[in-house]
Structure 1
Amino acid sequence: MRNLTPFLTRIPIKGDFEKAREEVWAFPLVAVITSLLPTLILYFKLPRGNLLGVLALYFTIGLLHLDGLADWADGIMVKGDREGKIKAMKDVNTGIAGIFAVVVVLLVQVYSLEGAPFYSMYLGELNSKYAMLLALATKKPLGRGLGAYFMEGMNRKNMVIGTALYVLLMIPVLALYPKAIVSLLGLAIGAYTIHISLKNFGGLNGDCIGAVAEITRAGTLLIIGTF
């Protein structure tokens, strides 16, 4: 986990990037770290806690996944064949679809946290990180970038450990707050995002995995805020 944390967060600790892919099982554990500040803000009911919580999240994780979401949306919205979609996703310039997707995801998260339970961001991040693990488990890399790099470290053992951690980290919240069970629907949103990515691009790269992370979290928060 020590090597994976610097890649998934802005926390200034040293890690060996070459060993990070060996720790993909720890994705759910990283969610505990990334959700800590937002959870404290929501727990103490600070003024404008919904906005501060989202800002605290991105202060912790950075904007890498949001950037991936923007590129992913540009590719998804392009009409034409698979090659054209991939080209649009890899274009260094962000199109209107990418900007729209980022704005919507940010607004959904801020809106959903208004009056939401303090544990909402914890569950959102837990689902987000586990959905990333599911994306890696497809073992369908697109190109030779970060997505392919982490998929190479994915195996049955890492998936089993990661799933066990996800369940163990979910159980305390569900035991104390049974209605939080609706958050599991957020994983369905993540799974559908993976499906859409494979259908449009034929594989997953870092941008797709970043989009999966962002959409899963936003979807989870929306579900919790609604129910």
Structure 2
Amino acid sequence: MTGGRRDGLRLSFGTLTVLPAGMPSRVDRNVGGRAMVLAPVVGAVVGGIAAAVIALAQLVKPDADLLAAVLGVLVVAGLSGALHLDGLADFADALGSRRDRETMLRIMKQSDIGPFGVVAIVGVLLLDVAALTACLQADFGWQALLIATTASRLTLPWSCRTSIPAARPDGLGTIVATTVRPLTAVAVTTAVLAAAVGLTWFTTSSTSTGTTASHLIGAAIAVLLAVATSLVTSRRAYRALGGTTGDVLGATVELALPVALLALALTM
């Protein structure tokens, strides 16, 4: 692994998780772009750990799908340091204020959480748990969480594509905004899509043809809807704030996770 890619991976783990990854030897826009491109790898690691917790919970208590779902969602949130949830709350409070751009940016920098932020956090967590429970009941639980967690981090290269500038002159947005070319985002999406479909095929090929087909369709839709969530959210941020911020990136991740899980749950 080259030094630049290693620095990008360290920055990606360092900003997206609480896992020990070491400090990059340098942090600049090139490293920031690599970190965003490698974000789905981080999602796969976080999702893999959470999937293992789900599998263990089901082994100990096979009929406790809700418990397993709650544990899986909490592991993902915990390994992410709840930073994405904080970003979601800040973005929701800013948009909910219906104020001018500068006021919304100031609201997002405040440490407190308002009513819109609380509703946003509670809403996405409830959707996460409910959708994952439905996937568990369809015997596609740990796979669903692994796919959804990876797909939700796929939003980051799309949110940092060259057409979306930073909304303010400081913060994470200035390091990662406009650093990812659309063709690179497409290539990463293709890789994630292939991995999701491959995992689904490998773990469901022994079931009926109809079941396998619905799972494959669900996996593909989940990945594509995560990308669509990124496009919609970044467009809304551009109109409201003039660009992206670290909070917007975190919000996009948290919005894409329940969207992907719902896609999987509804196609099981």
Q: Scaled by the length of structure 2, what TM-score is found? A: 0.76
Task: Say yes or no: does 1:55 pair with 2:43.
Answer: no
* Residue number among 128, 135, 149 corresponding to 1:109 in the alignment: 128
Identify the residue that residue 31 of structure 1 maps to in structure 2: 43
Q: Does the 8 A contact of 1:112 with 1:221 survive in 2? A: yes
One-letter amino acid of the counterpart of residue 214, structure 1 = E
Task: Say yes or no: does 1:11 pair with 2:10.
Answer: no
**Distance in structure 2 (CA, Å) of the matches to 1:157 and 1:23:** 16
Q: Does the 8 A contact of 2:50 with 2:73 survive in 1? A: yes
* Structure of greater Rg: 2
**Distance in structure 2 (CA, Å) of the matches to 1:13 and 1:206:** 20
Change (3 A) 1:107 1:25: same
**Distance in structure 1 (CA, Å) of the matches to 2:166 and 2:91:** 15
Change (3 A) 1:152 1:195: closer
Task: Say yes or no: does 1:179 pair with 2:217.
Answer: yes
**Distance in structure 1 (CA, Å) of the matches to 2:199 and 2:19:** 26
**Post-superposition offset of 1:155:** 4.2
Task: Say yes or no: does 1:140 pair with 2:165.
Answer: yes
**Matched positions, count:** 227
Identify the residue that residue 40 of structure 1 maps to in structure 2: 52
Identify the residue that residue 188 of structure 2 maps to in structure 1: 162
**Distance in structure 2 (CA, Å) of the matches to 1:160 and 1:215:** 20
Q: How does 1:60-99 map to 2 (within 5 A)?
A: 60-99=79-118
**Distance in structure 1 (CA, Å) of the matches to 2:216 and 2:180:** 32
TM-superposition CA deviations, 1:113-171 (whole Å, max 9, x none):
11312211112112211111100114311112101212264346753553343234233
**Distance in structure 1 (CA, Å) of the matches to 2:177 and 2:229:** 21
**Distance in structure 1 (CA, Å) of the matches to 2:198 and 2:233:** 27
**Distance in structure 2 (CA, Å) of the matches to 1:24 and 1:166:** 14
One-letter amino acid of the counterpart of residue 122, structure 1 = L
One-letter amino acid of the counterpart of residue 18, structure 1 = V
Change (3 A) 1:220 1:163: closer
Structure 1 alignment gaps of length 5 or more: none
**Distance in structure 1 (CA, Å) of the matches to 2:182 and 2:266:** 35
**Post-superposition offset of 1:90:** 2.4
One-letter amino acid of the counterpart of residue 15, structure 2 = F
Change (3 A) 1:7 1:87: closer
Q: Does the 8 A contact of 1:128 with 1:213 survive in 2? A: yes
Q: Does the 8 A contact of 1:132 with 1:209 survive in 2? A: yes
Fraction of identical pairs, as percent: 24
Change (3 A) 1:7 1:186: closer
Identify the residue that residue 237 of structure 2 maps to in structure 1: 197
Q: Does the 8 A contact of 1:28 with 1:165 survive in 2? A: no
Identify the residue that residue 145 of structure 2 maps to in structure 1: 121
